Structure 1
Amino acid sequence: MTLITRPEGLSADQIAPSRRSLGVAALGGVAFAAYAPAALSQAASPITTDSAGLIAHTVSYPAPDGFELPAYVARPEGDGPFPVVIVVSEIFGVHEYIRDICRRLAKAGYAAVAPAFFVRKADPAPLSDMQSIMTIVAAAGYEQVMGDVAATLDWIGLQSWARSDRVGITGFCWGGKVVWQACARFPALDAGVAWYGRLAPAANATDEQKTAGRPWPIDLAGELKAPVLGLYGGQDGGIPNDTVKAMNDALAAAGKTDSQIILYDDAPHGFHADYRASYREANAKDGWARLLALFEARLK
């Protein structure tokens, strides 16, 4: 399996066809793909979390542009109210790995909501062609994504089982960057955990790419309204270690002493993704324990 080493997916020379064809899971009238074939390793043994003791289903709610935004929700059985975690996907959208993350959080006592940010254009999850996936991802601009986060917060506020005063956010790859952006924009968020989201434009980025990626997390360090924990890999081919250091320096300079990035020296990009060849069990478990500790302190 080709190893994805970049925060927004494969570079042109890494694009590879799917190694297997997977089916589609349908819940509540909304279809979400199983594990994303563009990144799935045949040798992987993904963690699987059952729904025993949980309520897991799909919902939809209106975004600011009028689009009915689908989302996967997993929460403990019972009336609650439960603290909530918004889960932001990688470039592959709401596939089985992201749904399992939601169920893991629900088993820990949270209501987890994973919006499908990309499906206005198409669902990238069942696709194997990375160029097609990146075209879909590129269509989800900053204002649309922030609007979708706002809609998710509004919807959470209407749920009797949700503690709308205790909301966190976590995201992976593309979603890691969204965590930084959202925590700088929304006072309603109480904590964020960003898994290897890009912090600054690549050194060889074009002016168009630099503009398209704004606002970059490194420019938002002083605007964070909640603590953010970054979990990054020292061997990430798309997020150089010097940008991680620069982000930590920017956080310190802004007086954001409750935010920081942990760098796992030997970990590649995607080290938490247990369905990929990039998975590193020890780093993934340590990062997950840190996530739970932050959310325990800030959301419960």
Structure 2
Amino acid sequence: MNIPQSDHIPQEAFDWYDEYAHGLIDRRTFMKKLGGLAALGFTMSMLTSTLMPNYAFAEQVSFNDDDLTATYEEFDSPKGHGKGKGYLVVPTNKSGKLPVVLVIHENRGLNPYVKDVARRLAKAGFVAFAPDALEPLGGYPGNDDEGRAMQKSLDREKIQNDFVAAAHFLKSHALSNGKLGAVGFCFGGYIVNYLAAVEPNLLSAGVPFYGTPASESLQKNIKAPLLIQLGELDKRVNATWPGYEENLKSAGVAFTMHMYEGANHGFHNDSTGRYDKENAELAWQRTLQFFEKHLA
């Protein structure tokens, strides 16, 4: 299956979707703005089918893949919501201790795209664990709008502590070789940056996709090497990069930033028209190589 073609849709529509997805405008305002494109010949159905996620497009690795075993595992989070839960995927064709990678979702809970990312990592030989920040409310509800509202209702500090607890759970797992990587998208990219800063020895490598940095007071603590993935058209997140870059240099952090030409925020997410296949595949190849280098 292929996602709807997006080349002909004005960039403004993608920018409006980003504002809507991050709570800067409400759904009514977003839909009204899209309606204004009708004079240019765009139907609402065409626009929403391109911009809104369709997770049927996002399965690259089947949950029935013979090379993987997937389970849901609980972990303790005393400084967060008490208990957490996530999707653990283990490669069945590997033996012994393995490198482990925490997979961190966007601002709407553990949706099918992020679960598939965990399976992609396991297919590449890593033990992957994708926690669901919405577990205290019953987990990802099956649609992003409700999931976004649920995540917004939770205490942000407790969510952050849940991910810290999940990182410790995975790093100390019986299958872990003791080296922990983290990859996250949007809000998850922020959490990767936060994990690297809040406990300097927790991560061995971090890959934030279009994530904002941790608070400036924490950035000086970062020790883990970072591979930072940004989309050229993502003005909101990119505005934070110059200051973050300066602070990473001052702290002596080993980092590489890739700016993907013509790519929007969310360009790795293959469930919407923001998906940029060429850039997403290149970014993912770089991600796997980075983890292989630092976690083996």
Question: What TM-score bracket applies, with the shorter chain setting the length?
Answer: 0.7 to 0.9
Trace 1:80-229 onto structure 2 (pairs within 5 A): 80-121=96-137, 123-129=139-145, 133-134=148-149, 136-142=151-157, 144-163=158-177, 165-186=178-199, 187-199=201-213, 215-216=214-215, 218-229=216-227
Q: How far did residue 264 of structure 1 move? A: 1.3
Q: Which amino acid aligns with 2:188?
A: G
Q: How far did residue 96 of structure 1 move? A: 0.9
Deviates more, 1:59-68 or 1:287-296: 59-68
Distance 1:161 1:290, change over 3 A: same
1:244 aligns with 2:241: yes
Root mean square deviation of aligned Cα: 2.9
Distance 2:106 2:229 in 1: 14
After TM superposition, where is structure 1 displaced by more than 3 Å over at least 4 residues in a row? 1-4, 121-125, 127-130, 218-221
Name 2:252's counterpart in structure 1: 255
Secondary structure of the residue aligned to 1:238 is helix
Deviations 1:212-260 (A, max 9, x none): xxx53x5543221201111011101422x4422332232223322x113
Distance 2:198 2:96 in 1: 27
Distance 1:296 1:243, change over 3 A: same
Name 1:284's counterpart in structure 2: 280
Report the TM-score when normalising by structure 2: 0.78
Q: How far did residue 46 of structure 1 move? A: 2.5
Q: How many residues align?
A: 261
Report the TM-score when normalising by structure 1: 0.77
Q: How far did residue 111 of structure 1 move? A: 0.3
Distance 1:15 1:60 in 2: 39
- Are the counterparts in 2 of residues 7 and 196 from structure 1 also a CA contact under 8 Å? no
Greater C-alpha radius of gyration: 2
Distance 1:7 1:133 in 2: 10
Q: Which amino acid aligns with 1:96?
A: P
Deviations 1:264-290 (A, max 9, x none): 131111000000110001111111111
Secondary structure of the residue aligned to 1:183 is helix
Deviations 1:118-138 (A, max 9, x none): 2324545523536x7245335
Distance 1:133 1:15 in 2: 17
Q: How far did residue 94 of structure 1 move? A: 0.9
Greater RCO, 1 or 2 (C-alpha within 8 Å, sep 6+): 1
Distance 1:124 1:45, change over 3 A: closer
Distance 1:41 1:170, change over 3 A: same
- Are the counterparts in 1 of residues 58 and 116 from structure 2 also a CA contact under 8 Å? no
Name 1:208's counterpart in structure 2: none
Distance 1:196 1:106, change over 3 A: same
Q: Which amino acid aligns with 1:153?
A: A
Distance 2:151 2:160 in 1: 17
Name 1:212's counterpart in structure 2: none
Distance 1:119 1:14, change over 3 A: farther
Distance 1:128 1:169, change over 3 A: closer
Distance 1:7 1:76, change over 3 A: farther
Q: How far did residue 193 of structure 1 move? A: 0.2
